[in-house]
Amino acid sequence: MEDTICYLIGGAPRTGKTTRAEKLASENGIKSLSTDSILVMLTKIVRREDYPNLFYTHGITVEEFYEKYDTPTKAVETSVKASYDAERGITALIEHTLPAWKVIVVEGDIITPGFAKRLQDKYPKTSIRPTFLFDDDNERITERIFTKGLWTRDKPYSDAVKPMEVEYVKAYNEWFRHEAERYGFEIDRVT
């Protein structure tokens, strides 16, 4: 995949990944892909027993999720496991779209520093350009969670679980910061 560029934008939920990707795509006239959409597609074409971590939110309510994953660490670990299960599908999509499009932006929670490094190693002739967003402003995180939540709007839920979501997002931000440092990537602090 020579003369191709793949921008990757990763980070915890509600750090502005989609906004950043859409702006980059719009300013440069390129395509943008969301890992949320890719995950929906993957869960329709793969078997649950082969990729169990992709289905960790299927068939449960938001409240049941936070009962099952009752600490921020457990919730982050589960999200990271889903990222690993999704990597093959995201890689395949990049492999098939990038030669035709030449430049793409892929954003989402699943774009982890480890995944970015594996893509760089696998495709040395492609310019893999990762950006990892990090938000350590607890007031902003809290406001975003209580305004937008983390789950889709078609799954309404009470504000009672939102303090758990705030702690999950804070822990996930720290996980991304640590992993970016581990793999030698810069972190872009949200302002």
Q: What's the pLDDT score for residue 81?
A: 94
Task: Residue 115: give the domain boundaries.
Answer: 4-189
Q: Does the structure show a pLDDT above 90 at 85? A: yes
Q: What is the CATH number of the domain that holds 14?
A: 3.40.50.300
pTM listed for this prediction: 0.93
| Total tally of structural domains belonging to the chain | 1
pLDDT tens digits, 34-70:
998 898 899 999 999 999 999 998 888 888 999 999 9
Q: What is the 3-state secondary structure (H, E, C) of the chain?
A: CCCEEEEEEEECCCCCHHHHHHHHHHHHCCEEEEHHHHHHHHHHHCCCCCCHHHHCCCCCCHHHHHHHCCCHHHHHHHHHHHHHHHHHHHHHHHHHHHHHHCEEEEECCCCCHHHHHHHHHHCCCEEEEEEEEECCCHHHHHHHHHHHCCCCCCCCCCHHHHHHHHHHHHHHHHHHHHHHHHCCCCEEECC
Q: Does the structure show a pLDDT above 90 at 179? A: yes
Q: Does the structure show a pLDDT above 70 at 154? A: no
Least confident span in 5-9, 10-14, 144-148: 144-148
